[in-house]
């Protein structure tokens, strides 16, 4: 059994703290030494990806100290306990089993006589069978026409991850003849969200999946009713169009208003639920079940790498450790995720939830306040768009923001044009390489306004192309990184009590049960 300890009680953390400011990246990344670091500070990931940390503020001494920290905090042992079914989510008294939805990583996990791996697989198979019947025209609308569109109604983890994955593979699927149905997403309770999606589709040829783990989320239940209303107004029976993806114990699971229902359970957190039917139904319908299985395989291969005790061979753990060094030793408050791929357009939004909802905590897993900073603020946009937006602050602002680049050698559609001697893909890749060095090494200038101090750390995950496997590996990499950071900080990364208060107050506003400033704001907003 691993021992759970606060970060600041560890001898290895004190030693690490002594290494503050040790590596000057301007020097480290200049000249031949820089080239050597690019070759050496590189760890293979699953699906042909590589995690390169040459431009991070580490050297062998810092890495050795990080290895000691990983060992003392028993990161791999804690991961093993997690996938073997221990109650890691102490706040809610739950297991954490999203890895199991991808592959059996350790011992069978039996809960109340149910083998959880078999349960997750049975639901994936149910989704696969359903999708195949829809694609084959065996399940149709009342008029016998094929469904052409699938709409996911969900918010938070029931929206962001699946939406990011759908967008990431839409063009790939079109280029590889596996595109089956267009997917759309309704998340916001803003009525314009649902109305705009409904206006853009043929509702009579659409399936709608109500996706809510809890089955109680206000936005999702409201949007479900909104869509049903539109179906009825179009003369359609909602039951022929509505599906549910929810946990077995949720109120949604009790209803018989659905053409079909697919289940997960309380052991898969919303922001980790792309590997469950929350992602599985929509992605199997959109791209076919084989593509979805390939995403899970890529993720499972990355999960395997996360078991390695050698930090230099465990990209997820290494990324987590470097992040903690940056946050707790170097003192940086923010991290930017910058994918140089339009396919990963919504991936930063998914990571914002996954990371900040997981590790935005001030108490440890036993509920005691911690005396150190925890999860950083995460934000991001795809490159090169971000370069023309917020990179000014990243290059010359007063805060140092560690950066996580992601880049691919090839685009997805295979369409490209050579303009002024280079392709667009070459221009994209040239930019990410240039940015790493610009941030790391900077540039001197007589004019202080044009001076770049450099010393701004970054890593890059490099792959060939955004494919189902490499996307799964990328998803799992960040999930596992966040998990390891939670272990390092000794926080519970798997609950989210911080989102409750606002929901309670909103309910009071709607019931006109307010006074003071809350009433004043309610009046200002005409509620
Ligand atoms: O899937 P649901 O139960 O509808 O939850 C949707 C989302 O809302 C909650 O408020 C949480 O903040 C998220 O972690 C969750 O993913």
pLDDT tens per residue, range 129-164: 999 999 999 999 999 999 999 999 999 999 999 999
pLDDT at 256: 84
Of 309, 388, 410, 427, which is the active-site residue? 388
Separation of alpha carbons 470 and 454, rounded Å: 31
Separation of alpha carbons 110 and 112, rounded Å: 7
**pLDDT, average across residues 232-245:** 98
Residue 88 covered by a domain: no
Whether residue 384 is preceded by a cis peptide bond, meaning omega within 30 degrees of 0, is: yes
Q: Which ligand 1 atom is at minimum distance from the Cα of 499?
A: 12
pLDDT at 410: 97
pLDDT tens per residue, range 29-87: 999 999 999 999 999 999 999 999 999 999 999 999 999 999 999 999 999 999 999 99
3-class DSSP state of 155? coil
Q: How far is the CA of 271 from the centre of ligand 1 (A)?
A: 8
pLDDT band at 328 (very low <50, low <70, confident <90, very high): very high
**pLDDT, average across residues 472-477:** 98
3-class DSSP state of 261? strand
Tell me whether strands 149-153 and 206-212 are parallel, antiparallel or unpaired: parallel
Of 81, 219, 357, 381, which is the active-site residue? 357
Residue 84 covered by a domain: no
Residue 142 covered by a domain: yes
How is 428-486 classified by DSSP, letter by letter? HHHHHHHHHHHHHH-B--SSGGG-B-----EEEEEES---HHHHHHHHHHHHHHHHHHH
Domain that holds residue 274: 98-296
Is 477 labeled as catalytic in the residue annotation?
Answer: no
Q: Which ligand 1 atom is at minimum distance from the Cα of 273?
A: 16
Residue 268 covered by a domain: yes
Q: What is the DSSP letter of 214?
A: S
Residue 400: CB atoms within 10 A of its CB come to: 19
Residue 457 covered by a domain: no
Is 357 labeled as catalytic in the residue annotation?
Answer: yes
> Taking 90 as the threshold, does the pLDDT of residue 454 lie above it?
yes
Of 36, 239, 313, 503, which is the active-site residue? 503
Is 118 labeled as catalytic in the residue annotation?
Answer: no
| CATH label of the domain that carries residue 215 | 3.40.50.10490
84 Cβ partners below 8 Å, 6+ apart?
106, 107, 109
Q: How far is the CA of 474 from the centre of ligand 1 (A)?
A: 22
pLDDT at 378: 98
Residue 348 covered by a domain: no
> Taking 90 as the threshold, does the pLDDT of residue 109 lie above it?
yes
Query: Across the chain, what does the average pLDDT equal?
Result: 97
Residue 388 covered by a domain: no
Q: What is the total count of domains within the chain?
A: 2
Among 296, 327, 352, identify where a domain stops. 296
Q: How far is the CA of 78 from the centre of ligand 1 (A)?
A: 25
Q: Whose Cα sits closest to atom 14 in ligand 1?
A: 270
The answer to whether the beta carbons of residues 417 and 424 sit under 8 Å apart is: yes
pLDDT band at 417 (very low <50, low <70, confident <90, very high): very high
Among 246, 266, 296, identify where a domain stops. 296
Taking CB atoms within 8 Å and a gap of at least 24, the contacts of 484-487 are 484/75, 484/79, 484/306, 484/316, 484/317, 484/320, 484/321, 485/320, 485/323, 485/324, 485/359, 485/375, 486/358, 486/359, 487/73, 487/74, 487/75, 487/78, 487/79
* pTM, rounded to two decimals: 0.98
Q: Whose Cα sits closest to atom 12 in ligand 1?
A: 499
Ligand 1 pocket (Cβ < 6 Å) reads: 154-158, 212-214, 217, 220, 270-271, 357, 496, 499
pLDDT at 255: 79
Mutate to test the pocket of ligand 1, among 188, 251, 350, 496 (most ligand atoms within 8 A of CB): 496
pLDDT tens per residue, range 165-177: 999 999 999 999 9
In degrees and rounded to multiples of 5, residue 361 shows phi and psi of -130, 150
Q: Whose Cα sits closest to atom 6 in ligand 1?
A: 156
Q: Which ligand 1 atom is at minimum distance from the Cα of 503?
A: 10
pLDDT tens per residue, range 255-297: 788 999 999 999 999 999 999 999 999 999 999 999 999 999 9
This complex has an ipTM of 0.98
pLDDT tens per residue, range 330-385: 999 999 999 999 999 999 999 999 999 999 999 999 999 999 999 999 999 999 99
Separation of alpha carbons 477 and 49, rounded Å: 10
Share of the chain above pLDDT 90, in %: 99
123 Cβ partners below 8 Å, 6+ apart?
262, 263, 264, 276, 277, 280
């Amino acid at each position: 059994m691993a021992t759970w300890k606060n970060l600041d009680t560890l001898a290895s953390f004190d030693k690490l703290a002594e290494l503050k400011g040790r590596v000057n990246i301007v020097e480290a990344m200049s000249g031949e030494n820089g080239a050597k670091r690019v070759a050496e500070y590189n760890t293979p990931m699953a699906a042909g990806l590589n995690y390169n940390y040459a431009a991070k503020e580490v050297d062998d001494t810092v890495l050795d100290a990080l290895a000691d920290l990983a060992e003392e905090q028993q990161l791999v042992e804690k991961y093993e306990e997690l996938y073997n079914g221990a109650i890691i989510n102490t706040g809610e008294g739950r297991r954490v089993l999203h890895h199991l939805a991808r592959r059996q990583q350790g011992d069978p996990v039996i809960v109340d006589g149910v083998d959880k791996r078999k349960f997750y697989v049975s639901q994936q198979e149910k989704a696969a069978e359903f999708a195949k019947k829809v694609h084959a025209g065996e399940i149709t609308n009342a008029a016998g026409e094929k469904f052409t569109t699938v709409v996911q109604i969900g918010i938070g983890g029931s929206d962001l991850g699946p939406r990011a994955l759908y967008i990431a593979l839409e063009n790939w699927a079109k280029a590889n003849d596996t595109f089956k149905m267009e997917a759309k997403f309704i998340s916001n309770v803003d009525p314009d969200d649902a109305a705009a999606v409904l206006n853009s589709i043929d509702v009579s040829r659409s399936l709608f999946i109500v996706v809510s783990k809890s089955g109680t989320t206000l936005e999702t239940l409201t949007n479900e009713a909104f869509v049903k209303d539109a179906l009825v107004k179009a003369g359609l029976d909602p039951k022929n169009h509505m599906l549910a993806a929810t946990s077995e114990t949720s109120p949604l699971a009790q209803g018989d208003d659905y053409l079909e229902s697919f289940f997960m359970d309380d052991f898969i957190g919303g922001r980790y639920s792309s590997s469950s039917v929350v992602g599985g139904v929509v992605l199997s319908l959109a791209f076919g079940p084989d593509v979805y299985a390939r995403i899970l395989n890529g993720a499972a291969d990355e999960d395997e790498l996360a078991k390695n005790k050698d930090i230099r061979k465990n990209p997820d753990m290494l990324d987590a450790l470097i992040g903690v060094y940056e946050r707790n030793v170097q003192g940086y408050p923010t991290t930017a995720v910058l994918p140089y791929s339009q396919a990963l357009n919504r991936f930063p939004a998914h990571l914002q939830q996954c990371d900040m909802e997981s590790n935005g905590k001030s108490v440890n897993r036993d509920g005691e306040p911690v005396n150190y900073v925890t999860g950083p603020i995460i934000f991001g946009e795809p490159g090169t768009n971000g370069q023309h937006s917020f990179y000014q602050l990243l290059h010359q602002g007063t805060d140092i923001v560690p950066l996580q680049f992601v880049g691919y050698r090839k685009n997805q559609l295979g369409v490209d044009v050579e303009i002024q001697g280079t392709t667009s893909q070459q221009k994209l890749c040239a930019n990410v390489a240039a940015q790493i060095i610009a941030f790391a090494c900077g540039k001197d200038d007589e004019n202080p306004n044009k001076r770049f101090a450099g010393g701004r750390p970054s890593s890059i995950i490099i792959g060939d192309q955004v494919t189902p496997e490499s996307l799964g590996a990328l998803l799992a990499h960040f999930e596992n990184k966040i998990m390891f950071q939670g272990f390092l900080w000794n926080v519970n990364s798997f609950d989210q009590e911080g989102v409750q208060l606002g929901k309670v107050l909103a309910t009071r506003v709607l019931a006109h049960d307010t006074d003071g400033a809350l009433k004043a704001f309610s009046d200002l907003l005409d509620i």
